[in-house]
Amino acid sequence: MSQLQLRGLIPAFPTPLTADGEIDDRGLERIVEYQIAGGVSGLVPLGGTGEATALTHAQRVKALEVTVAVAAGRVPVIAGVLDAGFGGACDSARAYEKAGADGLMVIPPFYTRTDQSGLLRYFRALRKEVSVPFVLYDNPYRTHTVIAPETIACMAEEGLAVGMKASNTDLYHLDHVSKLVPDGFAILSGQDTLFVQQVILGASGGVLTSAALIPGYWANVQSLAEQGRVAEALGAQGLLNPLMDALFAEEFPTAVRAAFERIGLSTGTALPPVGALSEAALGRVHAAVDALLDSGVLKEVPKH
């Protein structure tokens, strides 16, 4: 497998859509350029924030192709493989490798309930289908499966994954993982609200939704945490609580689209079953974004 540098902020971001629900090429180009200009270390299209499971296979491939073309090798592109089972995951993995993904962020199967041995069988079989590196997507909230730290360590030792996105709020679990995995296995925070805590426990960066809006701010938070300036890091993270509370309110990721719209990057509307925000929730998004604009943390994007 090729090397994949997994450090710093590697945001998941919304998939811009036209009024009829198709991929908005120009909107996608603008949001990718915005993130790269903001200093991201990589990009994660087709994650949950990108509503990958609501897009058709052809739409997902197109979104990835546009992202890869705009990134043009400046940062790695890690495509989310969020299929429920093996056949779909194989199709996606092969198509995404062909489309130019530098790596794949793979979620465990979530329709067929399995045990730890089954998880290893799944990743061993999928690993044979493509050559690009895998980042394990540990998200028990979505999969209803807890991956044991020992299983993650086994995946790392066998080369089934070069890193993981830890979207698990159990910090005790993450502490065990960090002690068991070999050197070189990258742990990436998957929890915006626990980023500092996960960095303290060994995360080398994060796949954060809010980092798509303010990657530079989050990079500074990571730097503070790694320097041992924990109180400052937690304080800086806490200043984003209104934004994070607003982004994850109601049906995700509608609020994320609203936040991008507020700074001048239109991404369209979410796909069914996700609906519109209530007026109260939309007001909270606008208030949080406006406060960051007023403080200079965020800047409006000029219209082209």
145 Cβ contact partners less than 8 Å away, ≥ 6 residues apart: 108, 110, 113, 114, 119
Q: Annotation-wise, does 207 bind a ligand?
A: yes
Q: 161: which residues sit within 8 A by CB, 6+ positions away?
A: 106, 123, 133, 134, 135, 136, 152, 155, 185
Q: Can 165 be counted among the known catalytic residues?
A: yes
SS3 call for 218: helix
Find out whether 35 and 13 touch, Cβ atoms under 8 Å.
Answer: yes
For residues 247 and 209, the answer to whether their CB atoms sit within 8 Å is: yes
SS3 (DSSP) at 216:
helix
How many CA atoms does the CB half-sphere of 161 hold within 13 Å? 28
Residue carrying the six token digits 């994949």: 4
Residue identified by tokens 């329709």 is 111
* 3-class DSSP string for 37-105: HCCCCCEECCCCCCCHHHCCHHHHHHHHHHHHHHHCCCCCEEEEECCCCHHHHHHHHHHHHHCCCCEEE
Cβ within 8 Å of residue 71, ≥6 positions away? 32, 36, 43, 77
32 marked ligand binding residue: no
User: Which residue is catalytic, options 122, 137, 217, 299?
Assistant: 137
137 belongs to the catalytic site: yes
Q: Which of 34, 62, 122, 165 is catalytic?
A: 165
Q: Annotated catalytic sites, by residue?
A: 137, 165
Question: Which residues line the annotated binding site for pyruvate?
Answer: 49, 207
Question: Which residues line the annotated binding site?
Answer: 49, 207
